[in-house]
Structure 1
Amino acid sequence: MSTVGADFRVRRKGLGMDIALRGARVVDGTGAPEYRADVGVHNGRIAEVAAPVSLSARRVVDASGLVLAPGFIDMHSHSDLRVLSEPEHLAKVSQGVTLEVLGQDGLSYAPVDERTLTALRAQLAGWNDDPPGFDWNWRSVAEYLDRLDEGIAVNAAYLVPQGTLRVLCVGSENRPAGEAELTEMRRVLDRSLREGAFGMSAGLTYTPGMFADRDELTALCAVTGERGGFFCPHHRSYGAGALDAYAEMIEVGAAAGCPLHLAHATMNFDVNEGRAGELLTLLDDAIDSGADITLDSYPYLPGCTALHALLPSWAGEGGVEATLERLRDPALRARIREVLEVEGSDGCHGVPVDWDSIEINGVRRPEVNGHLLGRTVGEVARAEGKQPTELYLDVLLSERLGSSCLMHVGHEENVRAIMRHRAHTAGSDGLLVGDKPHPRAWGTFPRYLAHYTRELGVLGLEECVNHMTARAADRLGLPDRGRIREGNVADLVLFDPDGIADTATFDDPRRQAAGISHVLVNGVPVIDEGERTDALPGHALRHRCR
């Protein structure tokens, strides 16, 4: 390790600095080799990068032997409510996350009206809960961002959810948007982008977003691209036909002139074992032809979603009450069973459900259904002498669609290949609610550094940090974040490269990562000597749209 090339300019010896992190191994986010330096913070910014052990400040942190990196950027987060309802937000700040991208998978809570908000609160309870007494004091994207500005643990960027637009302007029916409805969606999307959203997300295996055809998506993406945003789709399948689904999104982005960021890019289920190379070739061909494409992934094999998401799309048409009514109809239950078990539901990525791979990890009625937690649908069905699909449908009715599940459908070789890609960034896709949430909500970023970098060597240290910082900041168009350099925002994480570890497990998922001693958000410590402070220095970031 050296200090050569660090461009040290010791001007003030740290006089007037708020914090000096002295003698750190600086991994600056660019992918360049680490170097040893002091980093001084003042008024929320990196005021000076100086020769080792040269800066003074009101607060000095001995960073000898520790890695100082830019704060990690979670490109796929589901903290839309939790960042407000549980302000401590330990799950994210304790793993070094200083910026989250919200509004994912085409479903969130802005822009809305009263009818839309009521529908979404019910539909998304399995993802985000529906906290009693919570103050829903916003309707527009601007008002939601203002609410975040009242004080949150981390910084937040927001994507306009395409499914939410559809509920607002079309409803929850399975039909094409009419001309006037599409015009209204484009108008609301344009306004939301001008209010500060960074782009648009879609959830094309979730109702009602999945009811949109390619022309509708292209028309919306054209608005997004014109305003300088990007399109972040959860596309139509990560199972059967996954490559076709990826290709469709590439074609939509190209037709609309809109940059593309592929959400939780995976190749899952038995039909895709060992096929990551085909996906990466598809992406490389598009990028080499001039397409602006990035992606994110999480470093785990199972996925996680609402339990009702496995249903065929026609069963979820019309919202929660309409869905529950279908689940009570014997003839429709029989048809749902046929689709789930034999044909392959579009909600389950076109693959017949293996009930031994679907683990129930969250229920809203633990007094009734707590015995299901941590068990697969197949396991419970055998124990209770029930047919597994019938058991599944009964649970959905009992929970009013409010339960969640783990889907054990991933492949290690695919996960490793995708994280090596030149367009890769990191995203947790972590649901923070439920009795046994996926550990990725607490462990994604330390797991990249510990398991896949230190232990397996899939990525180098500087390369891994680059994926989680500068690459993500570049996709978001944030030149003053994601890199350690003078003048940038002081979003920083200090960690022990030999001791950092994800301690969250599937059996005990809410455990703080090891080896992260300090996390600064906008220059303010939120983790100090490994402990959460009471600071809420984060705020909403607003995209400067064209």
Structure 2
Amino acid sequence: MNPSWRLPALLLLSAALAHAQPAAAPTQYDTLIRNGRLLDGAGNPWFRADIAIKDGRIAAIGALPAATAARVIDARNRLVSPGFIDVHTHVEGAVEKVPRGDNYLLDGVTTIVTGNCGGSVVNMAEWFQSLEAKGLGLNLASLIGHNTVRRQVMGTENRPATPDEIAKMKALIHEAMQEGAVGFSTGLIYIPGTYSNSDEVVDLARAAASYQGVYASHMRDEGAKILDAINEAARVGQEAGMRVQLSHFKIDTPRLWGMSDKSLALVEDYRRKGVDVVVDQYPYDHSSTNLGITLPSWALADGQAKIKERLTTPGSRKEIAEQMERMIKDLGHADYSYAIVARYTPNPEFEGKNIVDVTRLRGQEPTVANQIDTILEMVAAGGAQMIYHSMGDDDILRILRYPNTGIASDGGIRIFGEGMPHPRAYGTNARVLAEYVRKRGVLTWEDAVRRMTSLPARTFNFQDRGVLREGAAADILVFDPERVQDKATYTQPHQYTEGFDFVLVNGIVMVEDGKLTDARGGRILRHAAR
């Protein structure tokens, strides 16, 4: 018998049997997001597709008409993007009280990096475990702070560190990195880090670099000496062999507004030389930090008792006041009306008022000398958190247009209604989208989202976040480009963003139809190199 007839016959039989089998059941997913216009986070043009989520990850992207899921979200007429990654926050002491992170979730943030400006917890492992036990609403990673380890080893002494002290600080950094810290941060404008030299910073940074950590720096100066400060930060990256993130990049001195062309050119020059330097920015012309920065740094050394002693000794108080008068002139301010009290525990009546108004409340004429007296009394009483009008719009726009600028709030998790915080804690991302994309056309939707997602993810080595792709963590936003709007202002800061209709963290719906759920989708993001 000729076997050549058997192959077609077998194929026909196989086809017939296959046709007789019942159709395979459609794939079952946890969540389906249908009909969205997808912004992938990489800066590519949007495209229409469905997203299927399974076990906290993106399982499929594309046309999925046969797919079913326990939950279906109709994203028609809305944009779908990766969750925003805010790499510059300060949440220690607040995330424990509001572990869901309400103000960030409602602004589209699904991952935060804390421990910035040189300030962090010391025992990362213990802190991470306590947060996991509480249950987080968003993902959290932390840097280990220079000011923290220096204070731990040598207090707030105004002197160089000894070799033995350097070794002790490096040991603390090694321990934190082994416990999952994502890098090393400095706040070289603050005590005690401001008392260090560049060699110390480079030496300590090498400890984090050995774990492929990032160097994030609040530089030593953001005004007249900003170019020197950039050179110092780039030197750390170059000599330690690590990526550099320049925090809240700005020009904070009114008489130097416009100088961002030079500062950005220097950053780009280092990039051309092979030093991986990127920056972040918040889209406001007011900054926020403590009241102590208005004093010369030497006056803040050696602890609160020593500070009080200097402020109550006529000779040293006079020297501090004279130096403050020179400092304010150098900044280009006529008086302290640019400084607004955000939080002052000894007298909440001061909150929301500038130093000129507070001086009047204290029964004094608001001369500059009397304003300085007000500041010194407030510092002696424990200090205050402030908001400073210090930046110009031209610099904000120039920095925002720079392709390697990420968006970060420099804010914290807020207890709703408490104090007068900077509005950036509530509305940073929505402000970029509403003001600088929709209204002013400074950025495209695609590029703005890239700066909030894949750019920070790349910088901090979050390899499975910041983009919409199969296999990535399902940190996803569904938002209306016509409605997304920041609401928080300097006078009424406690207002949540509107327009982020759905926020998913690791596949868990944390915001549904614009309202927070009681779920807990967040997790600790420990450095993979640990």
In structure 1, the residue matched to 2:55 is 43
Any conservation in 2 of the 1:23–1:53 contact (CA below 8 Å)? no
In structure 1, the residue matched to 2:82 is 70
Deviations 1:222-251 (A, max 9, x none): 222222011101011112212211122112
Query: 1:193 is matched by which residue type in structure 2?
Result: M
In structure 2, the residue matched to 1:485 is 469
In structure 2, the residue matched to 1:106 is 118
Deviations 1:46-76 (A, max 9, x none): 1111216553211111100111100000010
Separation in 2, partners of 1:107, 1:52: 47
Deviations 1:23-52 (A, max 9, x none): 001001010000011111111001111216
Separation in 2, partners of 1:99, 1:73: 5
Deviations 1:368-405 (A, max 9, x none): x233222211233256324100011112233x22x211
452-461 or 52-61, larger mean C-alpha shift: 52-61
Q: Taking structure 1 as reference, are residues 149 and 57 closer, same or farther at Cα in structure 2, changes over 3 Å only? A: same
Secondary structure of the structure 1 residue equivalent to 2:117: helix
Any conservation in 1 of the 2:104–2:413 contact (CA below 8 Å)? no
In structure 2, the residue matched to 1:355 is 336
Report the RMSD for the aligned CA atoms in angstroms: 1.9
Query: 2:37 is matched by which residue type in structure 1?
Result: R
Any conservation in 2 of the 1:341–1:353 contact (CA below 8 Å)? no
Separation in 2, partners of 1:421, 1:545: 30
Any conservation in 2 of the 1:324–1:397 contact (CA below 8 Å)? yes
Secondary structure of the structure 1 residue equivalent to 2:95: helix
Separation in 1, partners of 2:423, 2:262: 29
Which structure is larger by alpha-carbon Rg, 1 or 2?
2
Separation in 1, partners of 2:65, 2:76: 9
Shift of 1:432: 4.5
Structure 2 residue runs of 5 or longer lacking an equivalent are 1-22
Q: Taking structure 1 as reference, are residues 12 and 227 closer, same or farther at Cα in structure 2, changes over 3 Å only? A: farther
Separation in 1, partners of 2:25, 2:46: 22
Any conservation in 2 of the 1:22–1:55 contact (CA below 8 Å)? no
262-271 or 159-168, larger mean C-alpha shift: 262-271
Any conservation in 2 of the 1:311–1:336 contact (CA below 8 Å)? yes
Shift of 1:83: 1.6
Q: Does 1:97 align with 2:76?
A: no
Within the candidate set 321, 336, 354, 1:376 is matched to 354
Shift of 1:350: 6.9
Q: Does 1:222 align with 2:222?
A: no
Separation in 1, partners of 2:126, 2:475: 25
Shift of 1:324: 2.6
Within the candidate set 100, 106, 116, 1:88 is matched to 100
Separation in 2, partners of 1:14, 1:159: 44
Secondary structure of the structure 1 residue equivalent to 2:421: coil
Q: Does 1:169 align with 2:148?
A: no
Shift of 1:87: 2.4
In structure 2, the residue matched to 1:123 is none
Deviations 1:123-159 (A, max 9, x none): xxxxxxxxxxxxxxxxx21212222222111101110
TM-score, scaled relative to structure 2: 0.91
Within the candidate set 397, 409, 413, 2:380 is matched to 397
Q: Taking structure 1 as reference, are residues 533 and 408 closer, same or farther at Cα in structure 2, changes over 3 Å only? A: same
TM-score, scaled relative to structure 1: 0.88
144-153 or 428-437, larger mean C-alpha shift: 428-437
Any conservation in 2 of the 1:103–1:158 contact (CA below 8 Å)? yes
Q: Does 1:540 align with 2:521?
A: no
In structure 1, the residue matched to 2:293 is 309
Q: Does 1:145 align with 2:128?
A: yes
Secondary structure of the structure 2 residue equivalent to 1:517: strand
Shift of 1:81: 2.2
Separation in 1, partners of 2:300, 2:66: 62
Q: Taking structure 1 as reference, are residues 306 and 17 closer, same or farther at Cα in structure 2, changes over 3 Å only? A: same
Within the candidate set 11, 25, 28, 1:16 is matched to 28
Secondary structure of the structure 1 residue equivalent to 2:280: strand
Query: 1:409 is matched by which residue type in structure 2?
Result: S
Secondary structure of the structure 2 residue equivalent to 1:149: helix
Query: 2:90 is matched by which residue type in structure 1?
Result: H
How many residues are paired up?
A: 499
Any conservation in 1 of the 2:474–2:504 contact (CA below 8 Å)? yes
Q: Taking structure 1 as reference, are residues 143 and 13 closer, same or farther at Cα in structure 2, changes over 3 Å only? A: farther
Any conservation in 1 of the 2:182–2:460 contact (CA below 8 Å)? yes
Shift of 1:219: 0.3
Deviations 1:85-136 (A, max 9, x none): 122321101111000001011012x21xxxxxxxxxxxxxxxxxxxxxxxxx
Separation in 1, partners of 2:282, 2:26: 39
Any conservation in 1 of the 2:307–2:380 contact (CA below 8 Å)? no
In structure 2, the residue matched to 1:459 is 443
Separation in 1, partners of 2:296, 2:130: 36
Separation in 2, partners of 1:240, 1:331: 29
Query: 2:393 is matched by which residue type in structure 1?
Result: E
Shift of 1:501: 0.5
Query: 1:376 is matched by which residue type in structure 2?
Result: N
Separation in 1, partners of 2:376, 2:297: 15
Structure 1 residue runs of 5 or longer lacking an equivalent are 1-10, 112-139
Any conservation in 1 of the 2:254–2:331 contact (CA below 8 Å)? no
Q: Does 1:520 align with 2:499?
A: no
Q: Taking structure 1 as reference, are residues 491 and 315 closer, same or farther at Cα in structure 2, changes over 3 Å only? A: same
Separation in 2, partners of 1:529, 1:34: 22
Secondary structure of the structure 1 residue equivalent to 2:372: helix
Separation in 2, partners of 1:504, 1:54: 43
Q: Does 1:385 align with 2:364?
A: yes
Runs of at least 4 residues of structure 1 off by over 6 A?
11-14, 349-353
Query: 2:230 is matched by which residue type in structure 1?
Result: Y
